[in-house]
Structure 1
Amino acid sequence: MILAIGCYVDLNRPAESPDSEKYHMLARAALCEIPVLEDTTVETVTALYYELWFLLVFSDKKKSTDQAWALMGLTAKLAQSVYRNGVKSKVIPEEVENRRSLFWELLCLDSRLALSLGRPPSLSVKHMDCSRPMYIPDPHCDFLESSHHYQSWKHSFYVDCLYPIVDALSQPGIEYSTVLELDMQVRKFPIPEHLQRQNSQSRIMLLQQSVEPPVNLVLLQLHRTYFMRALSGPEEAFNKRHRYAPSVVAVWLGAVRMIAAVETLYRREPELAARILGYWSNTFSAVVAIALLVSRAPFTCLSPAGLQELQRARLLYQAVTHTRSSEIVPMLDIIIAKANNIFQRWYHGQDVPTLVLRHEDEHDTFIDQLIKMDSNPFVPAPSPPPTDDSFQHAHPLLTQCIAEAHERAKIMFPMRKPCQCSVGNPTTCPPSHSWTPPPHIDLSRPILPYLYAEIANPFGFNAAPAVPPITSHYTGPNSVNFELGALHPNTEQSWMGWF
């Protein structure tokens, strides 16, 4: 398995070298020759661990995720015989450390896979007595470049953030207040300065310093169900008081940051980043989330900024030369084109079948557009009625996100177009940029990624955009249907399946 992964990331070999899959098949055949249930060894569990990583990160096979889930169950059972501290069996200290490191890596991988698939984990830290590894610095490299910093942070993040989220989401009827508490816990979890350096020359350290994508993935998976329900439910208008509004902003922000993080990594290491398919599948899921928000809620201030990020993703995919990643470009273009088409039709006041807009008597100027969607009314647990501010118990970063997105919307749309909604007289619609009081923006630490000229104004809205041809449906071959009822809360794991 090490040779299979090594051939895949070896930049001296062609990106589509068949040697990687050959070694992969040989490794699987070798495992079949070993009675793993009768004689479990550390080497066997290690080989299964690398097999799991290969299936999840490098394989493009349709059933690779399902295979990884089934294999994770077997590996978890076998691993419970190798994590013991070795006091009774008189294992040498170095071997004890290897076993501890392996077991903790399996704990992290198991929870990430369970969270991605929306299933309970096979291993629980609550039921284990395996001590954490010693995290000894690598003597062959600079202390700041040693990988033990990343390993220590990753395992701490698992204990304090990842496993509590997996455990909470595995239980039926989770309260939304618990979701906001877990979100707050993740956003407050510190990242060491060693993992925030931008001038590392080591490829290994560069990948380990890319800790933002894993953190974003956890937040995306925490909020994705509530994101879908907020954009699919006709029971209450979508505004600041919507009970799931923080989840919509959290998913939008996580998707935006995911695209920007992969873009940054690709600019620094294009050859290596292009070969890690996990980055590109996560980016594609981020595009789906942003496009869904733009299609269902073009009235929100998040939508114009979302168009900019969709353009960022389009340019990123077009720059990739790797065959497997570039194969997604046609589907990506269809999804982005649909979102752009829907937004432009709303801009010109045309009928848009993906949304229903209804104003309320009491308007909240924090999010100035009010929308309603059609959907599945399923709710996991009884929720309190909407409050004046659903962001009251959310992390301030989400409020900052809305404020920055609103500033971008003001630049793209200095004047608001008359909106097409259920109100008979469009003059009763609230102004686009009426904020009382104005939001506070910390310009010293912006949270949205940098805008460059190619994406700042994707439609050229200094002039009126052209009216697109009117069509009745937005579906195409192998693409996402954004019409009401086409996507419901139970489909977010297929189209937004981050790992």
Structure 2
Amino acid sequence: MSKRLEELEAALAKTQGTSSTRRPLLRDAGRQDPLAAISDLEARYEADLESVSENLGSLAIDLDGNLKYHGETAGAEYLQSLMPDGERKSRELGNPKCLGLPVEVLELVASFPFGPQTRIHSTALFDNFIPSGERAIQLADLYYANLAWMSAPIPRGDFERVIIKPVYQTPGGHASLSGLHAHDVSVFFMVLALGSLFDHSPSHELSAEQYNAFGRAAFALESIVRGATCATLQALFLIMYFSYYADRSENELSWVLMGVCAKASQMIGLQRDSAGCNLDREEVQRRRIIFWEFYSWDALTSVVNGRPPALNLAHADCRFPDDLDPFIKEDGSSELGFHAWTYRYSAACLSIAVQRAFAVRTPSYNSLLQLDKRIRTFPIPSHLQSPGQDASKFWNQDPTRAMQQYCVVNECEAILLYIHRSYFAQALRESEEPLRHKYSPSVTATYRGSLVLIATLKHLNSVHPKLSSCIWHFWSGFYSSCVLLGAIVVESPGSMLAQNALAELDSARIIYEEGSQLCRPPATMTMLNKLHVRAHASFEEYQTKLMNGETSRPPPMDGSPGAPDELDVVCGRTSMINNSASVGLRGSTAPSIHAGNAAFNPPDAAYGYTLADASQPVYQAMGAAEATPSLYLPGADDPATFALRPQDNPQFPSVGAAAPQLVQNEQEIWLKFMEGLGVSY
């Protein structure tokens, strides 16, 4: 072929009379540089990188080279851990050696989650640590009442049928674990551990940690590398859940375990619907529940942590499970229960939020507003609506049902805060009146969402203080809301929102201090107090200058030289370097390097799912709900005329022949956003 090509090139060159100079197209393909194509690809790839978001998130590096990264959607308390005083010590009871356990159990705990190479013990090792049947039921009741209302990888009926009965209803009448798979034993102990967290006995913390150690040890009896079952996934999820709730300093462990959960779920094919695999109906239902519990949790915690998720709906066709807890209305009709609603919300809204949050290509701002409207208009069953969404609603007298009502508010409003936050921060930095900035919709959404989260949790805590004070992720959204209100005052003290934001911050700080004592990281209160002082100082300085006839914007109130400013971390800045010492993962001190985000960059695609068929695969459930909730901004003189009109906004001049096309597009985006929220002017 090479010889033939040479003959053809020579003939063509002779015909064109250019035999002395070879034309570009007359190349010997057989002798072409094999690296040339790769070089072309590299050049094109480098060119594509110019469109990648500059949005890096926050990265801390200690003296030993350990790194900790949180992306731009991360909750404020996670970003606070990047500050020099943001670390905290782990609880002493978290060390299994302090629990008085047998050496054999400790060895198994040390080998969690992959277990020893060879099995050296049986489940009979734990028979001496089985509580009485009455005690086991009591702790299981506490778990299902206080924690399973949000995430329940093993329904109560399954737990009693698959685990409780085989353990306590034995032929000899003696409780035994010998008839259970090791991972079923792990589920048994983890349910007891989670229930013990809410027990009122003096030694409930010690009992919880002991059962947690037994759960990990039992899990290690059967190496996950050699095989997995549904019980494997249930046990892993409960172990992760315990780490998540027992101690906030173990967030990294919870994050890693969620990744192990995801890989193990893919090992047994949970992402693919198993209805056609000749499995019995109960097993199919069990697999669907576990997948959607995993996906919902993975998507939510990914946004809150600012890290990409482990599961992707593009790789799944798992149908929604049966609704095990539908709400029956007075007229006999039924509504989706909380878990069934959560699965659908995760598929329709969280899946898009996750795609947007971690996309590296710069998208349009309009697509963010489309997602905003989708979240706000996603249907919520009447029994899950709360006073924060409908003034005619009341908190359910059942504390767990009330927690589900607030959880709906939190999942919607907190996600909106996280996806709008970097745009909100950019508007504060670039405009004295952020409501007139081109990203004013994000300012509006962030301010409104912060007020809703604060007011709703305040009301819930006054009705059900016992349980709400223990659910730390509720207070996480509350804390982020306080930080964002403080940012308005510090960065834009002349904004028409500043005075009301400061008043809300004053009252919210007191509520946070009193209501979150049982579950907050200590550093968050320190940071909130500092922010409170700065906000008052900034507002008072601006008012003083205003009285003296000075209308220029005051300079930003930065922290001490060389140290990162709190708002720099929680709202996002670029190329920040922290030269002060911080505690590393191994106890060393080292400078932390932070890269802050400059703008939020979601992809353009947006998808939705109807609620018509509870069993349909998510890829067939396309559609969008239509609704127009009203918008009201406390602090604005008139919600209809508080300078949010395009004609009052210098970024949005009247549309006309002389208006630049970009400005016209921005005005169209603004009009569509306000129309979607039901605001007229």
Amino acid of the residue matched to residue 56 of structure 1? Y
CA contact (8 A) 1:226 1:247 kept: yes
Amino acid of the residue matched to residue 342 of structure 1? S
Write the mapping of 1:100-499 to structure 2, written as runs, cut at 5 A: 100-137=288-325, 149-172=337-360, 173-196=362-385, 197-210=393-406, 211-233=408-430, 238-320=433-515, 322-325=517-520, 327=522, 328-349=524-545, 352-354=554-556, 376=574, 378-379=598-599, 400-402=631-633, 404-407=634-637
Instruction: Provide the rounded CA distance (Å) in 2 between the counterparts of 1:142 and 1:22.
Output: 45
Deviations 1:33-64 (A, max 9, x none): 33112120111101222233333344221xx2
Amino acid of the residue matched to residue 344 of structure 1? E
CA contact (8 A) 2:422 2:572 kept: no
**CA 1:29–1:318 in structure 2 vs 1: closer, same or farther (change >3 Å)?**
same
**CA 1:151–1:379 in structure 2 vs 1: closer, same or farther (change >3 Å)?**
closer
Structure 2 equivalent of residue 3 of structure 1: 192
Structure 1: gaps of 5 or more residues = 357-372, 383-394, 410-444, 448-499
Moved more, 71-80 or 88-97: 88-97
Instruction: Provide the rounded CA distance (Å) in 2 between the counterparts of 1:184 and 1:171.
Output: 20
Instruction: Provide the rounded CA distance (Å) in 1 between the counterparts of 2:192 and 2:637.
Output: 50
Deviations 1:223-253 (A, max 9, x none): 11212222234xx664444221111221222
Deviations 1:341-371 (A, max 9, x none): 2212212228943279xxxxxxxxxxxxxxx
Instruction: Provide the rounded CA distance (Å) in 2 between the counterparts of 1:141 and 1:5.
Output: 32
Moved more, 102-111 or 236-245: 236-245
Larger-gyration structure (1/2): 2
**CA 1:270–1:193 in structure 2 vs 1: closer, same or farther (change >3 Å)?**
same
> Identity, % of aligned pairs?
28
1:289 Cα shift? 1.3
Partner SS state of residue 406, structure 1:
coil
**CA 1:38–1:158 in structure 2 vs 1: closer, same or farther (change >3 Å)?**
same
CA contact (8 A) 2:328 2:335 kept: no
CA contact (8 A) 2:454 2:478 kept: yes
CA contact (8 A) 1:259 1:313 kept: yes
Instruction: Provide the rounded CA distance (Å) in 1 between the counterparts of 2:372 and 2:328.
Output: 38
Q: What is the RMSD computed on CA atoms of the aligned residues?
A: 3.7
Deviations 1:155-211 (A, max 9, x none): 111121110121123222121111011001111112111212525222221111221
CA contact (8 A) 2:423 2:600 kept: no
1:30 Cα shift? 2.9
1:333 Cα shift? 2.5
**CA 1:269–1:142 in structure 2 vs 1: closer, same or farther (change >3 Å)?**
farther
Amino acid of the residue matched to residue 495 of structure 2? T
**CA 1:380–1:254 in structure 2 vs 1: closer, same or farther (change >3 Å)?**
closer
Structure 1 equivalent of residue 210 of structure 2: 22
CA contact (8 A) 1:9 1:275 kept: no
1:219 Cα shift? 0.6
**CA 1:19–1:339 in structure 2 vs 1: closer, same or farther (change >3 Å)?**
farther
**CA 1:272–1:120 in structure 2 vs 1: closer, same or farther (change >3 Å)?**
same
Partner SS state of residue 226, structure 2:
coil
Moved more, 347-356 or 91-100: 347-356
Structure 1 equivalent of residue 248 of structure 2: 60
What is the aligned counterpart of 2:257 among 63, 71, 78? 71
Deviations 1:264-284 (A, max 9, x none): 221122121112222223322
1:32 Cα shift? 2.9
1:104 Cα shift? 0.5
1:299 Cα shift? 1.2
Instruction: Provide the rounded CA distance (Å) in 2 between the counterparts of 1:277 and 1:348.
Output: 39
**CA 1:104–1:58 in structure 2 vs 1: closer, same or farther (change >3 Å)?**
same
State TM-score, norm by structure 1. Answer: 0.67
Instruction: Provide the rounded CA distance (Å) in 1 between the counterparts of 2:203 and 2:533.
Output: 30
1:107 Cα shift? 0.8
